[in-house]
Amino acid sequence: MENRAGKGTALRWAALGAALLCLVISACAPKEAAQSETEPQPVSVSAPAAEEEAAPPTLGQRREETAAAAEAGRENAEETEAAAPPAAEEPPEETDPPAESGETPAGTEAEAEAEAQAPAGPEPEEPEPEDESWKLILVNAEHPIPEGYEFTLMELRNGQHVDERIYPELQRMFDDARAEGIYPFVNESYRTAEEQQAIMDEYIARYEAAGSEHEEAVRQAREIVALPGTSEHQLGLALDIIAEFSEDSWPTWQWLKDNCARYGFILRYPADKTEITGIAYEPWHFRYVGAEAAAEIMERGLALEEYAAEKSAAEN
Ligand SMILES: [Zn+2]
């Protein structure tokens, strides 16, 4: 992960740690995944002393990130407000070549193309075209991002990117949270295949440094880092959110869990669905699915995998 802003080594490590948090896509038991997550941390992790059972062991790490993010947040106090105009610095997608098969072109270069191919909607200017299947796209270890999946990115003020179609609801959610004294911060959202690979490489290097032979290091890294093409973050629909000005993100996560559905977001990796999602509990990871699906998913406490399966069964 290159940090173009160059905010210093410590922050870069913290950012890398944050990036790693939601990479955990493994078929192994969540407990196992959660355990291995804590091993190769580059930052000094304060022990999550006597956390509740439900709290992931990454919480200590999470707090480290929170501090870093809060620091960054002071510079970007209203990070989701209005997309930053094209800044002097290059958007990352220009420096990142498209994924192997030319999938997921993003950003301004792809904008015209993406709009030209906007599915079904007779009026491409409409924010919500008739075909809304993108909202429910399922990406996990068994379901890689479909070839040719296209979307347009929008840059947030802190340099993170999201699918432009979720931006209005994201902004509304943050505005409403702030009105209630909750200050969410988008710590990590869109990630390119190249960034995903860089994180994988970083893990491999760390395992090698710890003494593993290369092949073993690769195997270990793949246990906890999603292969490029299987991370939901590559969709631009997933967000890792923390508290902006506090080291304790739990109130923020609780507010989001209680309210996210109103804006079309879901808690993607709930504590009681780890065997279905294959991912450890991630109280910070929210995914846009649209208001209708979000309402049902959050009300019934479903995993997106379950909801998608029900939908699919109902259609057949
Ligand atoms: Zn995530």
Going residue by residue through the chain (316 aa), what tens digit of pLDDT does each one get?
A: 333 333 344 444 444 444 444 444 332 223 333 222 222 222 222 222 333 333 332 322 333 333 333 344 444 433 444 333 333 333 333 333 333 333 334 444 444 444 445 455 556 566 655 688 999 999 998 999 999 999 999 999 999 999 999 999 999 999 999 999 999 999 999 999 999 899 889 999 999 999 999 999 998 887 777 788 999 999 999 999 999 999 999 999 999 999 999 999 999 999 999 999 988 899 999 999 999 999 999 999 999 999 999 999 998 8
292 has catalytic annotation: no
Strand runs labelled E in the chain: 153-155, 161-163, 184-188, 238-243, 265-267, 285-288
**Which pLDDT score is estimated for 316?**
82
**Which pLDDT score is estimated for 28?**
29
* Domains parsed from the chain with CATH numbers: 133-191+235-315 (3.30.1380.10), 192-230 (no CATH)
Active-site option among 247, 282, 292, 310: 282
H-run or E-run covering 255: helix 250-259
Q: Is 151 helix (H, G, I), strand (E, B) or coil?
A: coil
CA of 233 to the centre of ligand 1 (A): 6
Nearest to 299 by CA among 260, 272, 250: 260
Q: Is 227 helix (H, G, I), strand (E, B) or coil?
A: coil
* pTM exceeds 0.75 for this model: no
CA of 316 to the centre of ligand 1 (A): 31
Query: Phi then psi for 184, rounded to 5 degrees?
Result: -75, 155
What Rg value do the Cα atoms of the chain yield, rounded? 19
**C-alpha to C-alpha distance for 110 and 93, rounded to whole angstroms:** 10
